[in-house]
Each structure stands twice: as C-alpha cells, then as structure tokens.
Amino acid sequence: MKLLPEEFNWHWIIEWSTPSTAHMHAVKNVYAYGNSKYQRWAVVEYEDFGKALVIDGKIQSSIIDEYVYHESLVHPAMILNGNPRKVLILGGGEGATAREALRFKSVESIVMVDLDEEIIEVSKKYLNEWHRNSFYDKRYKLVIGDAYSYIKDSKEAYDVIISDLVDPEEYGPAVKLYTKEFYEMTSERLGERGIFVTQSTSPVSTPTVHAVIYNTIKSVFKYAISYYVYIRSFESIWGFVMASNEVDVSRIKGVDIEKAEEGLVEDSNRYYDNESHSHMFYIPKYIRSILERERRVSTLKDPIYLPA
C-alpha cells in the first residue's frame, strides 16, 4: 500500500528520557499553552492517551491513567496511618492528589503547597476530570509558595505528608526537595503514626536518581520502603518511597487493603485493589539490584538530580 504523507501525524511531543532514547506522542489538539514564571506548560489531547498536562516536555499525567498514579501515591500511606485527619501535599498541581486524599472520610484538612499558581489556574480550568472540584472543597487549603520554606517554617504536625513534586532536574526548583536536609525537616512535621510518601522518579529510566532518593529517605527515617507501578502514559515503571519513624511501613505488604479501606474511603478505587497492591510491593529483581548497589545520599551540598 502506498501511504500519503498527509496521513501521517505531524504534531508531536518528543519526551526525551536520555539524549539517546525518546518517546514520540502525536498531538490531536491543544487546549491551552503557556509559559509560567517557572515552566513551559501545555494542556493537549494526545492521539493515543487523550487529554494530558505536559510541563517542560514531560507528561505529568494523562486522563487514561492518572488514577493509577494518584491512587498509588496516596492510598498506601493513608491506609498505614489508619486515621488520616491532617494531610499535607507538596506540589500536586493537577488537584488529583488532593482528590484522592479527600476521598478518605477521616480527613479534616488538606494543605497543598505549590510553587506555580499558573499551573493551578490551568488545572482548575482544563483538568476537571483530575481535581473533581477538590480545589473548592472546604477542607482544602492552597498555599502558593516554595515547599522548602513551608516545611522549614511550619510548626504543624501532619498525619500524612505526600510529596507530588516534579522531578529533581538540574537547575530546576525541586532539587533541594529530595535532599537529606529536607527530609529531616519533613520527618519533624509528622504527627503520631505519621507517614511520608513521595514520587521518586523511574527506577528504569533514571535508576540512579531513584536509588539515591530511596537511600536518602532510608538514612533519615526509621522505616522506609519503595514500591512501583507501570504508568502507561509515561511508558515506564514509576517508583514511590514511603517512610515513617513510628510505623513499620514494610507491614503494608501483608495488609488486606480492600478491607482496610472499607468505611474509610468514599466510593471505590479504579485501580488500587488487593491484587494491584501485591503487584506493586513485590519488586522485580532488576529493580532490587539497583537499590542494593547504591550508596549515595543526596544532600544540599551534593544533591542528586536528573540525569544520573
């Protein structure tokens, strides 16, 4: 068959994993596009993945699987705490991390600290499927500002602190938010049975960065564990690290999470059930090996950043 060039997609976002590996995604529509004080962003419709938020060339989440990412980020920590009332979210611009936290009936207040007000406004306007009006929930409070300063100045105790920040890219604003010093301050902001959880980049695309984040958290908290989920629109496995000084977070592996969420969570999860849970906490050997080999800890003086 003879193809016509007109039939080829022509509008593409090329997401570079490294200078030698990239993902090409055809764009069907552009809803909005801009440059905020901190980053270049776009709300687009991918041909294959539907609506998505892209920041500085990286897909942040897409409508086909944002729930996989956000349920994985939020639920294990909330369940381990058992009775989360006060929640702190660092980053989380799309509003979906708040949405998942607000589904826990015990939650009384959520503070979300995000640097980039423009992204929040964009999310409010274009990403209703993500935030589901969480921005307007009376338990939700937004603080525009730097997470480092907020954590440093805060006197509060939170039941769960969820870090949903952009990756620590060289020269980017998030590098210091993955350091030992920051995690030490964060650990002091945890209340009784307090749990900290963070996205921790991809263990396969950026294995060193992921392993150093894991190591750094392990060096600060008494208990730490990592877990993983494949995110279709990232075309990669994604990593999370959960930690606590009071709760042995490795116990999550044995929890019947469907039962644990009964009565605790409104309506039902789209992704996170017992079998998905087991999949996430049994770690394939090629990832375990990366963690075992790594000895570095990220510090303000010698931070880790992308790429390794």
Identify which of 207, 198, 223, 167 has the alpha carbon closest to the alpha carbon of residue 287: 207
Selected from 37, 138, 155, 285, the binder of a copy of itself by CB under 8 A is: 285
Q: Quick one: 57 or 145, whose CB is closer to a copy of itself?
A: 57
| Contact of 64 with 46, CB cutoff 8 Å | no
Q: Which is nearer to a copy of itself, 50 or 191 (CB)?
A: 50
Joined together, the tokens standing for residue 187 give 């650990």
Q: In whole angstroms, how close is the CB of 199 to a copy of itself at the nearest point?
A: 17
Q: Give the residues across from 161 on adjacent strands.
A: 88, 196
Residues 203-242 close enough to bind a copy of itself by CB under 8 A: 204, 229-230, 232, 235-237
Choose the binding region for a copy of itself from 142-150, 175-183, 185-193, 280-288 (rule: CB under 8 A).
280-288
**3-state SS, residue 165:** coil
Q: Quick one: which of 46, 148, 150, 223 contacts a copy of itself (CB under 8 A)?
A: 46
Candidates 48, 184, 256, 292; binder of a copy of itself (CB under 8 A) is 48
User: In this structure, which long-range contacts are made by residues 4-11, counting pairs with CB atoms below 8 Å and at least 24 apart in sequence?
Assistant: 9/47
Return the structure tokens found at 84: 């989360």
The contact pattern for a copy of itself, residues 19-38, with x = CB under 8 A and - = no contact, is xxxxxxxx--xx--x-x---
Say whether residue 256 binds a copy of itself (CB under 8 A). Answer: no
277-286 LR contacts (CB < 8 Å, sep 24+): 277/76, 278/253, 279/229, 280/72, 280/227, 280/228, 280/229, 281/225, 281/227, 281/252, 281/253, 283/226, 283/227, 283/228, 286/204
Q: Give yes or no for residue 296 binding a copy of itself (CB under 8 A).
A: no
Task: Count other C-beta atoms under 10 Å from residue 74's C-beta.
Answer: 29
Give the C-alpha separation, 103 to 206, whole Å. Answer: 32
User: Which of 50, 173, 191, 307 touches a copy of itself (CB under 8 A)?
Assistant: 307
164, 167, 267, 273: the active-site residue: 164
Q: Binding string, 58-97, against a copy of itself, x = CB under 8 A? A: x------x--x-----------------------------
Distance in Å, CB of 267 to a copy of itself, minimum? 15
d(CA 90, CA 185): 13
In whole angstroms, the minimum distance from the beta carbon of 189 to a copy of itself comes to 30
Nearer to a copy of itself, 13 or 249 (CB): 13
Distance from C-alpha of 255 to C-alpha of 278, rounded to nearest angstrom: 9
Sheet holding 190-199, edge to edge: 140-144, 109-114, 86-91, 158-164, 190-199, 236-244, 223-231
Binding-site member from 284, 292, 293, 302 for a copy of itself (CB under 8 A): 284
The verdict on whether 164 is a catalytic residue reads: yes
Q: Which residue, among 94, 68, 95, 77, has the nearest Cα to 264 in the 3D structure?
A: 77
- CA distance between the termini of the chain: 44
> Alpha-carbon distance 233 to 254, whole Å?
29
The 117-156 contact track toward a copy of itself, x by CB under 8 A, reads ----------------------------------------
- Given the rule CB under 8 A, which residues bind a copy of itself? 1, 3-26, 29-30, 33, 35, 42, 46-48, 56-58, 65, 68, 169-170, 172, 204, 229-230, 232, 235-237, 270-273, 275-276, 278-280, 282-286, 288, 306-307
